[in-house]
């Protein structure tokens, strides 16, 4: 159950919020507050009834056999770009995104998963092709010892030889900083890149709730296997078992390591590390540092990175944006970056490239993510041949602040803990304009309490988000832009007194007042679902290596742990595990056989071509000379996605959305205006470049959502729901990951599937009843 | 309301800058200091003029990227609040609002309101960490930490690295920032091993790049993380101890770390042949 939380300082710190009153306290509480956001969850549930016909046909599943037997294979695999053994360069043409398709045509008999609806099926056939299945090259065997067994089989690099290898790490978030610092400590030549002015600023810094680890410090029955099971189930059975088990195992080491690095985890009076439970989970396994867990982990990681910089072992490049991946002879051999201050576009080559560039939730324009979050790095890699997995899987957080003004720049999260005492409601009549205080009890609809009597206002994230959307679509949204629902403390204040509320939520409510000018003690707060986390990302194998040899991916940029829905506090964990405890081992395995080879020289044709292409794009953007700034387009894109690829989707809307996105993209390329020039710090140019990639990603998100003809976790297709409105998976056809190949010129994207098997945690229905 | 903005415009580090005057209409109370700039920029872009460059990212007070002087005050009129969380509420229709980049010798202007704060990272790179190799950590519970100490460490660790303390300081000193890191790590048992080498080295870098603290305490209200002056006392105390400890030869000088060369001569970044030599790590 998704339960990450942003809690107020008071619930975890030594002093009750509001006490103290000193200037320091005021500042401190302000900082650790939650913040919110909005999202006009758009329209149209034209589809409300559209797929009901499926309902009768499909019984609600409880236990289902996996669809296809796994095709386990270590090292070499089924047809596909990874088929080449790692010791020899894959004989694939240079930067050919379409190469995989070319070398491995879709086997007609592969029983492609297709929609049952002939109209939808035809629509899909027009928009995508189906490619051969892929397999993850994960070893098979006892899942409990899999990672250890695997480590034993990984190749090693002699310490004396490590200096002879160069590794590029893009991103200095939890995943990137961990990988870069560790590889550097081990003796490899590492170059780290970030678009920020300092490594500490990566968006990991904004996470508050905490990080999960199966330490079992409380005698409450937690264990590695339990975290594993919770994660597989929470992901609605769309993640890889082997990878998730490794995540659980390594969680233990992450806490040890972070503690040693000086992360001030909250402590008990006896000096032990404190844990808390996140709503819904019955064990207490979330480690936290006040309300700033992400900040503390991120700063610790950045410090380790700077330690290596100070020691002269690691070269850090700040304010450098990766614009492209360089692929030569089928391998990732470098990147092209733009110096954001001087505008210089230059190549960097190495033996391997690690991407840890975070999530793409900002494709919605307003999300809970930082403004600079982008998909450019991973999307460019995708265009160069890397498979993009499950792009439609996006988690919406139910308690962000709705937009109050046109100019509100993002959807800040408000702590989910507010739902402990607040009651969520909307007016019964659409368009009811009365002030909330004037709406009498009988005209209010406490819809969560009505729809989910047992969970009520504490219904899990995806369910709450969806329920809110239903109200908004029905025209019952509240606030000036009619894009929120009420979260009302009136009854709690009457019951507990204003003082108690101040103690519990003082700083959150103050932040809300600050943002909106409204007083939540006298009139209800407004909240709305906001795009929050990308479960999808670049496809990787068990080694966190993409299908392009030499291209490694970690953290939110990859896809493999969270399936269709991420559990709260699991994402700081996955980024940390990838960075500190997976990539350093697996990258070495890839490098070992390359001993003696030099990084590709800068006059290699692939390097020259990539640089020319990146510069060409920049020049093109600057030269369009249209009339509309990039932000205007981004805003429109956000609205299209929110309407058609949002909390709830349906076939018709997705097809429409995909078309509208394509039109918008065409319009962008003919009518965008990017002021300024390229040889300077040009933030308009940065925005335009990122948006250009978001426009392409958005279309693929719509296509993936259309293609995946089932509901799973955060991907809720209204055609596929149970009678009581729960997500209805189609395990027979969709127990798989969709991994997309970029469209060849004038072609359509190719969807490949990686079958998933669930042996340690048998398939079951996720239920909140 | 309508606001008149006097904004510092500067094409790049080498060019001279100047104030330019703009008007933004339709500003509502809940607009933040950065959203005010968004409004101005949308207007400029619509007119085909170059928008004002400014640093920002999380827009929720935690990343430390934002920072500008508003009417001469770091981040804006409110104490203990970063620019992204400050609202224009305190202004009235027709007010003139002056927006400038951080003013500090150690933070050269990059463009408009954007400055180069990499000097702060060089302080951290000089010792603001605990050296523990990955996979070498003992089980976390073997290191109990007193709850009050953990909370105090957290108070100090809360620094968001924005540089407002430096911008607020008449001396352009970075004592609050450096003190926060020194105090955070010295508060914890894990931080004891390198405690005195750390402070000597960090102070050496700090002194070489920033001004010196003379206890104006202007940094305190400017700090969004509410770091207190106590960290400066902590820094001074540890530094004095470190000097004594060093003289007694209780801590042998490390030879494996190039930055320690600074204690004897030139800074480590000048020893990097690939570097421009101007102190940037770019
Ligand atoms: C508001 C919020 C709260 C959250 N709370 C929690 C929580 O409580 N618990 C939890 O487990 N998870 C939480 N998450 C999720 C979690 O924070 C992220 O998934 C995780 O931190 C991602 O880490 P990362 O290392 O993959 O990427 P990031 O930390 O996002 O780092 C990305 C890095 O890549 C760099 N970069 C990106 N693009 C480029 C490019 N083109 N060129 C060069 N560099 C580039 C950036 O500069 C940055 O250094 C939260 C997320 C949000 C938005
Ligand atoms: S001490 Fe305060 S003002 Fe200085 S950098 Fe840290 S957070 Fe900013
Ligand atoms: S934008 Fe992140 S602190 Fe202000």
pLDDT in tens, B151-170: 999 999 999 999 999 999 99
* Spatial distance between the Cα atoms of A743 and A129, rounded to a whole number of angstroms: 9
Please, what is the Cα angle at B257 between B261 and A255, to 5 degrees?
140
A218 interfaces chain B, CB cutoff of 8 Å: no
Q: Do B134 and A581 touch (CB under 8 A)?
A: yes
Q: Domain range holding A77?
A: 1-136
Nearest to B137 among A178, A257, A631 (CB): A257
- Predicted confidence (pLDDT) at residue B149 exceeds the cutoff of 90: yes
CA A602 to chain centroid, in Å, comes to 34
Give whichever of A59-63, A364-368, B244-248 has the largest mean pLDDT.
A364-368
pLDDT at A25: 29
Do B48 and B13 touch, CB atoms closer than 8 A? Answer: no
A20 interfaces chain B, CB cutoff of 8 Å: no
* Spatial distance between the Cα atoms of A687 and B65, rounded to a whole number of angstroms: 17
Question: A38 to each of A180, A479, A482, B7, B35, how far by Cα in Å?
Answer: 36, 11, 11, 30, 16
Of the listed ranges A102-116, A520-534, B250-264, the one predicted with least confidence: A102-116
Res. A668 pLDDT band, cuts 50 70 90:
very high
Please give the residue that has the higher pLDDT: either A599 or A279.
Answer: A599
Q: How many residues are given for chain B?
A: 282
Determine which residue's CA is closest to atom 5 belonging to ligand 1: A207
B199: Cβ contacts below 8 Å, ≥ 6 apart: B127, B182, B186, B235, B238, B239, B242
Q: Give the N- to C-terminal CA distance of chain B in Å, as an integer.
A: 41
Mean of pLDDT values over B58-86: 95
In terms of domains, do A18 and A112 share one? yes
pLDDT at A502: 82
Q: Which of A281, A287, A243 is nearest to A268 (CA)?
A: A287
Res. A137 pLDDT band, cuts 50 70 90:
low
In terms of domains, do A509 and A403 share one? yes
B29 interfaces chain A, CB cutoff of 8 Å: yes
Mean of pLDDT values over A149-160: 95
Mean of pLDDT values over B175-184: 98
* Spatial distance between the Cα atoms of B177 and A198, rounded to a whole number of angstroms: 15
Measured N-to-C along each axis, helices A683-707 and A376-383 cross at an angle, to the nearest 10 degrees, of 60
- Predicted confidence (pLDDT) at residue A96 exceeds the cutoff of 70: no
Half-sphere exposure of residue B8: CA atoms within 13 angstroms, side-chain side? 25
**Per DSSP, what are the bridge partners of residue A306?**
none
Nearest to A409 among B34, B62, B132 (CB): B34
For residue range A677-726, what is the model confidence (pLDDT) as tens digits?
A: 999 999 999 999 999 999 999 999 999 999 999 999 999 999 999 887 88
In terms of domains, do A616 and A487 share one? no
Q: How many residues are given for chain A?
A: 769
In chain A, the percentage of residues whose pLDDT exceeds 70 is 84
Residue A336, SS3 per DSSP: strand
User: In chain A, which residues have their Cβ closer than 8 Å to the Cβ of B12?
Assistant: 341, 680-681
* Spatial distance between the Cα atoms of B124 and A304, rounded to a whole number of angstroms: 10
For residue range A580-610, what is the model confidence (pLDDT) as tens digits?
A: 999 999 999 999 999 999 999 999 999 999 9
In terms of domains, do A4 and A103 share one? yes
* Spatial distance between the Cα atoms of A58 and A237, rounded to a whole number of angstroms: 18
Q: How many A from CA of B175 to the centre of ligand 1?
A: 30
Q: Which of A558, A175, A179, A177 is nearest to A359 (CA)?
A: A558
Counting ligand 2 atoms within 8 A of each CB, the residue from B157, B224, B229 with the most, and so the one to mutate, is B224
State the ligand closest to the CA atom of A276. Answer: 1
Q: Which of A408, A395, A404 is nearest to A366 (CA)?
A: A408
Biggest CA-to-CA distance, chain B: 67
With respect to residue A517, please indicate whether it lies within any of the assigned structural domains.
yes
A569 lines ligand 1 (CB under 6 A): yes
User: In chain A, which residues have their Cβ closer than 8 Å to the Cβ of B118?
Assistant: 197-198, 318
Mean of pLDDT values over B230-245: 93
For residue range B212-224, what is the model confidence (pLDDT) as tens digits?
A: 999 999 999 999 9
Mutate: best of B9, B47, B116, B134, partner A, most A CBs <10 A: B134
Q: Which atom of ligand 3 is nearest to the CA of A206?
A: 2
User: What are the backbone angles phi and psi of residue A92, rounded to the nearest 5°?
Assistant: -115, 145
- Predicted confidence (pLDDT) at residue B105 exceeds the cutoff of 50: yes
pLDDT at A79: 35
Do A261 and A239 touch, CB atoms closer than 8 A? Answer: no
pLDDT at A508: 74
A193, closest residue in chain B (CA to CA): B282
pLDDT at B37: 98
Q: Mind giving me the DSSP string for B135-164?
A: T-PPPGGGS---HHHHHHHHHHHT-----H
Q: Which of B64, B67, B88 is nearest to B77 (CA)?
A: B88
A2 lines ligand 1 (CB under 6 A): no
Q: Mind giving me the DSSP string for A237-276?
A: T-S-HHHHHHHHHHHHHHHHHHHHTT----B-TTSPBP-B
Q: Any idea what the CATH number is for the domain that residue A651 is in?
A: 1.20.58.100
A262 interfaces chain B, CB cutoff of 8 Å: yes
A9 interfaces chain B, CB cutoff of 8 Å: no
* Spatial distance between the Cα atoms of B214 and B212, rounded to a whole number of angstroms: 6
Q: Any idea what the CATH number is for the domain that residue A457 is in?
A: 3.90.700.10
Give rounded-to-5 percent helix, strand, coil for chain B. 40, 10, 50
Please, what is the Cα angle at B57 between B56 and B61, to 5 degrees?
85
- Predicted confidence (pLDDT) at residue B270 exceeds the cutoff of 70: no
With respect to residue A682, please indicate whether it lies within any of the assigned structural domains.
yes
pLDDT at A544: 98
**Per DSSP, what are the bridge partners of residue B258?**
none
With respect to residue A654, please indicate whether it lies within any of the assigned structural domains.
yes
* Spatial distance between the Cα atoms of B74 and B54, rounded to a whole number of angstroms: 14
CATH of span B118-263? 1.10.1060.10
pLDDT at B257: 59
With respect to residue A251, please indicate whether it lies within any of the assigned structural domains.
no
Strands A551-553 and B73-74: unpaired
In terms of domains, do A526 and A611 share one? no
Q: How many A from CA of A372 to the centre of ligand 1?
A: 11
In terms of domains, do A513 and A632 share one? no
* Spatial distance between the Cα atoms of A752 and A743, rounded to a whole number of angstroms: 12
Q: Mind giving me the DSSP string for A56-119?
A: HHSPPPSS---SS-----SSS-SSSGGGS-TTS-----TT-TTHHHHHSPPPTTS-----SSHH
Interfacial B residues in 132-151 facing A (CB < 8 Å):
132-141, 143-148, 150-151
Mean of pLDDT values over B81-98: 95
For residue A518, the distance in angstroms to the closest alpha carbon of chain B comes to 10
Q: Do A260 and B126 touch (CB under 8 A)?
A: no
Strands A736-741 and A750-755: antiparallel
Q: Any residues with Cβ below 6 Å from ligand 2, and which?
A: B 159-165, 176-177, 180, 222-225, 227
Res. A415 pLDDT band, cuts 50 70 90:
confident
B113, closest residue in chain A (CA to CA): A681
B161 lines ligand 3 (CB under 6 A): no
Return the number of other C-beta atoms located less than 10 Å from residue A661's C-beta: 26
Q: Is the dihedral of CA B50, B54, B56, B60 positive or negative?
A: negative
State chain A's mean pLDDT as an integer.
84
The ipTM of this complex is 0.92
Q: Active-site residue A128, yes or no?
A: no
pLDDT at A392: 98
The last residue of a domain, from among A499, A531, A563: A531
With respect to residue A318, please indicate whether it lies within any of the assigned structural domains.
no
Residue A666, SS3 per DSSP: helix
- B144: phi > 0 → left, psi -120 to 50 → alpha, else beta; which? beta
For residue range B192-212, what is the model confidence (pLDDT) as tens digits?
A: 999 998 999 999 999 999 999
Which one is catalytic: A127, A128, A164, A461?
Answer: A461
Question: A675 to each of A342, B43, B256, B262, how far by Cα in Å?
Answer: 16, 12, 49, 44
Res. A115 pLDDT band, cuts 50 70 90:
low
Mean of pLDDT values over A455-468: 82
- Predicted confidence (pLDDT) at residue A12 exceeds the cutoff of 70: no
Do B52 and B33 touch, CB atoms closer than 8 A? Answer: no
- Predicted confidence (pLDDT) at residue A217 exceeds the cutoff of 50: yes
Q: Give the N- to C-terminal CA distance of chain A in Å, as an integer.
A: 12
User: What are the backbone angles phi and psi of residue B77, rounded to the nearest 5°?
Assistant: -65, -25
A319, closest residue in chain B (CA to CA): B282
* Spatial distance between the Cα atoms of A270 and B144, rounded to a whole number of angstroms: 8
Res. A377 pLDDT band, cuts 50 70 90:
very high
**Per DSSP, what are the bridge partners of residue A394?**
A534
The last residue of a domain, from among A96, A121, A136: A136
The last residue of a domain, from among A531, A558, A591: A531
Res. A404 pLDDT band, cuts 50 70 90:
confident
**Per DSSP, what are the bridge partners of residue A327?**
A332
pLDDT at A514: 75
pLDDT at A171: 98
pLDDT at A769: 55
Judged on CB neighbours under 10 Å (0-12, 13-18, 19+), A106 is: middle
- Predicted confidence (pLDDT) at residue B274 exceeds the cutoff of 80: no
- Predicted confidence (pLDDT) at residue B121 exceeds the cutoff of 90: yes
H or E element, residue A302? helix A293-310
Q: Do B137 and A684 touch (CB under 8 A)?
A: no
With respect to residue A691, please indicate whether it lies within any of the assigned structural domains.
yes
With respect to residue A115, please indicate whether it lies within any of the assigned structural domains.
yes
Interfacial A residues in 547-586 facing B (CB < 8 Å):
580-581, 584
Q: Mind giving me the DSSP string for A439-475?
A: S-GGGEE-HHHHH-TTTGGG--HHHHHHHHHHHHHTT
State the ligand closest to the CA atom of B66. Answer: 3
Mean of pLDDT values over A493-511: 83
Residue A509, SS3 per DSSP: helix
Return the number of other C-beta atoms located less than 10 Å from residue A497's C-beta: 11
Do A648 and A466 touch, CB atoms closer than 8 A? Answer: yes
* Total number of domains in chain A: 3
pLDDT at A208: 83
Instruction: Kindly state which CATH superfamily the domain B3-115 is placed in.
Output: Beta-grasp domain (3.10.20.30)
Half-sphere exposure of residue A205: CA atoms within 13 angstroms, side-chain side? 30
Task: Tell me the whole-structure pTM to 2 decimals.
Answer: 0.88
pLDDT at A644: 96
For residue range A34-74, what is the model confidence (pLDDT) as tens digits?
A: 333 333 333 333 333 333 332 333 222 222 222 333 333 33
For residue range A218-241, what is the model confidence (pLDDT) as tens digits?
A: 999 999 999 999 999 989 999 999
Q: Which atom of ligand 1 is nearest to the CA of A413?
A: 1
Counting ligand 1 atoms within 8 A of each CB, the residue from A36, A363, A572 with the most, and so the one to mutate, is A572
Q: Which atom of ligand 3 is nearest to the CA of B57?
A: 1
Q: Do B45 and A684 touch (CB under 8 A)?
A: yes
Of the listed ranges A26-40, A334-348, B12-26, B112-126, the one predicted with least confidence: A26-40
With respect to residue A624, please indicate whether it lies within any of the assigned structural domains.
yes
Please give the residue that has the higher pLDDT: either A109 or A453.
Answer: A453
For residue range A329-351, what is the model confidence (pLDDT) as tens digits?
A: 999 999 999 999 999 999 999 99
Residue A657, SS3 per DSSP: helix
For residue range A520-561, what is the model confidence (pLDDT) as tens digits?
A: 999 999 999 999 999 999 999 999 999 999 999 999 999 999
Q: Which atom of ligand 3 is nearest to the CA of B83?
A: 4
* Spatial distance between the Cα atoms of A126 and A198, rounded to a whole number of angstroms: 45
In chain B, where are the structural domains located? 3-115, 118-263
Do B128 and A308 touch, CB atoms closer than 8 A? Answer: no
Nearest to B145 among A271, A292, A371 (CB): A271
State the ligand closest to the CA atom of A197. Answer: 1
Q: Where are the alpha helices (DSSP H) in B87-229?
A: 118-125, 147-157, 164-168, 175-187, 195-209, 219-222
């Amino acid at each position: 159950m998704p339960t990450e939380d942003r809690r107020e300082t008071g619930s975890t710190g030594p002093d009750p919020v509001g006490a103290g009153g000193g200037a320091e306290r005021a500042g401190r509480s302000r900082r650790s507050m939650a913040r919110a956001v909005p999202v006009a969850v758009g329209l149209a549930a034209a589809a409300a009834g559209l797929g009901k016909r499926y309902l009768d046909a499909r019984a609600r599943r409880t236990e289902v056999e996996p669809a296809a037997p796994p095709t386990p294979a270590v090292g070499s695999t089924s047809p596909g770009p990874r088929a080449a053994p790692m010791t020899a360069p894959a004989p694939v043409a240079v930067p050919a995104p379409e190469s995989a398709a070319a070398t491995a045509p879709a086997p007609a008999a592969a029983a492609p998963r297709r929609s049952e609806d002939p109209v939808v099926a035809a629509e899909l056939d027009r928009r995508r092709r189906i490619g051969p299945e892929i397999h993850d090259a994960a070893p098979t065997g006892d899942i409990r010892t899999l990672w250890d067994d695997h480590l034993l089989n990984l190749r090693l690099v002699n310490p004396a030889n490590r200096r002879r290898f160069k590794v590029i790490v893009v991103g200095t978030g939890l995943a990137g900083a961990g990988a870069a610092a560790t590889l550097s400590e081990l003796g490899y030549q590492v170059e780290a890149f970030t678009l920020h002015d300092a490594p500490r600023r990566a968006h990991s810094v904004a996470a508050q709730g905490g990080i999960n680890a199966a330490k079992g410090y409380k005698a409450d029955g937690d264990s590695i296997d339990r975290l594993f099971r919770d994660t597989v189930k929470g992901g609605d059975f769309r993640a890889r078992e082997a990878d998730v088990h490794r995540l659980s195992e390594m969680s233990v080491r992450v806490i040890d390591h972070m503690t040693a690095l000086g992360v001030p985890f909250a402590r008990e009076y006896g000096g032990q590390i404190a844990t808390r439970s996140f709503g819904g989970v019955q064990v207490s396994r979330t480690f936290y540092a006040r309300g700033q867990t992400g900040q503390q982990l991120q700063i610790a990681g950045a410090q380790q990175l700077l330690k290596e910089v100070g020691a002269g072992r690691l070269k850090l490049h700040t304010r450098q944006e990766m614009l492209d991946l360089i692929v030569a002879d089928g391998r990732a051999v470098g990147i092209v970056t733009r110096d954001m201050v001087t505008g210089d576009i230059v190549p960097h080559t190495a033996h391997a490239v690690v991407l840890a560039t975070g999530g793409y939730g900002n494709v919605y324009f307003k999300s809970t993510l930082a403004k600079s979050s982008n998909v450019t790095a991973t999307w460019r890699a995708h265009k160069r041949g890397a498979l993009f997995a499950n792009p439609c899987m996006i988690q919406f957080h139910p308690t962000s602040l709705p937009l109050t003004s046109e100019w509100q720049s993002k959807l800040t999260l408000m702590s989910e803990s507010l739902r402990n005492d607040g009651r969520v409601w909307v007016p019964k009549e659409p368009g009811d304009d009365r002030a909330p205080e004037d709406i009498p009890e009988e005209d209010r609809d406490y819809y969560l309490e009505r729809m989910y009597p047992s969970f009520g206002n504490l219904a899990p994230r995806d369910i709450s988000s969806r329920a809110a959307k239903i109200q908004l679509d029905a025209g019952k949204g509240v606030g000036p832009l009619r894009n929120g629902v009420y979260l009302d403390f009136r009854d709690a204040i009457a019951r507990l007194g204003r003082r108690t509320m101040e103690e519990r939520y003082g700083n959150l409510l103050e932040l809300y007042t600050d943002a909106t000018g409204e007083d939540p003690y006298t009139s209800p707060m407004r909240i709305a679902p906001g795009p929050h986390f990308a479960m999808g990302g670049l496809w990787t194998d068990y080694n966190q290596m993409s299908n392009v040899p030499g291209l490694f991916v970690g953290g939110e940029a990859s896809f493999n742990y969270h399936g269709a829905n991420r559990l709260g506090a699991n994402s700081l964990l996955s980024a940390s595990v990838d960075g500190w405890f997976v990539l350093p081992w697996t990258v070495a395995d890839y490098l070992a056989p390359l001993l003696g080879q030099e990084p590709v020289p800068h006059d290699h044709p692939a390097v020259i071509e990539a640089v020319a292409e990146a510069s060409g794009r920049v020049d093109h953007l600057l030269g369009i000379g249209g009339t509309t700034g990039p932000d205007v387009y981004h805003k429109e894109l956000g609205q299209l996605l929110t309407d058609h690829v949002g909390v709830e989707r349906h076939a018709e809307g997705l097809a429409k959305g995909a078309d509208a996105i394509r039109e918008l993209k065409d319009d962008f390329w003919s009518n965008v205006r990017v002021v300024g020039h390229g040889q300077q710090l040009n933030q308009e140019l940065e925005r335009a470049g990122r948006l250009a990639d978001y426009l392409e990603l958005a279309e693929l998100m719509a296509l993936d959502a259309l293609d995946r003809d089932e509901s799973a976790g955060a991907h809720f297709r209204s055609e596929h729901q149970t009678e009581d409105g729960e997500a209805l998976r189609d395990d027979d056809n969709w127990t798989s990951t969709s991994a997309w190949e970029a469209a060849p010129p004038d072609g359509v994207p190719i969807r490949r599937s990686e079958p998933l098997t669930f042996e340690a945690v048998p398939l079951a229905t996720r239920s909140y009843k | 309301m309508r606001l008149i903005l006097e904004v510092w415009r500067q094409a790049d580090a080498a060019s001279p800058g100047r104030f330019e005057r703009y008007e933004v209409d339709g500003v509502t109370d809940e607009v933040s200091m950065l959203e005010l700039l968004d409004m101005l920029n949308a207007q400029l872009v619509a007119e085909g003029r170059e928008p004002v460059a400014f640093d920002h990212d999380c827009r929720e007070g935690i990343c430390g990227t934002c920072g500008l002087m508003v009417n001469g005050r770091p981040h804006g009129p409110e104490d203990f609040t970063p620019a992204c969380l400050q609202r224009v509420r305190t202004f009235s229709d027709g007010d003139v609002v002056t927006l400038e980049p951080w003013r500090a010798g150690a933070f050269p202007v990059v463009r408009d309101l954007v400055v180069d704060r990499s000097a702060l990272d060089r302080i951290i790179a000089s010792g603001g960490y605990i050296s523990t190799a990955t996979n070498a950590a003992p089980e976390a519970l073997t290191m109990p930490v007193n709850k009050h100490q953990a909370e105090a460490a957290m108070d100090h660790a809360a620094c968001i690295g924005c540089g407002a303390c430096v911008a607020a300081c008449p001396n352009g000193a970075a004592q609050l920032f450096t003190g926060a890191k020194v105090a955070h790590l010295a508060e914890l048992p894990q931080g004891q091993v390198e405690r005195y080498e750390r402070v000597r080295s960090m102070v050496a870098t700090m002194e070489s790049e920033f001004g010196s603290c003379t206890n104006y305490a202007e940094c305190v209200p400017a700090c969004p993380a509410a770091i207190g002056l106590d960290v400066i006392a902590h820094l001074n105390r540890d530094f004095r101890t470190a000097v004594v400890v060093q003289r007694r030869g209780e801590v042998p000088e490390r030879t494996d770390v190039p930055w320690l060369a600074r204690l004897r001569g030139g800074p480590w970044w000048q020893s990097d042949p690939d570097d421009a030599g101007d102190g940037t790590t770019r």
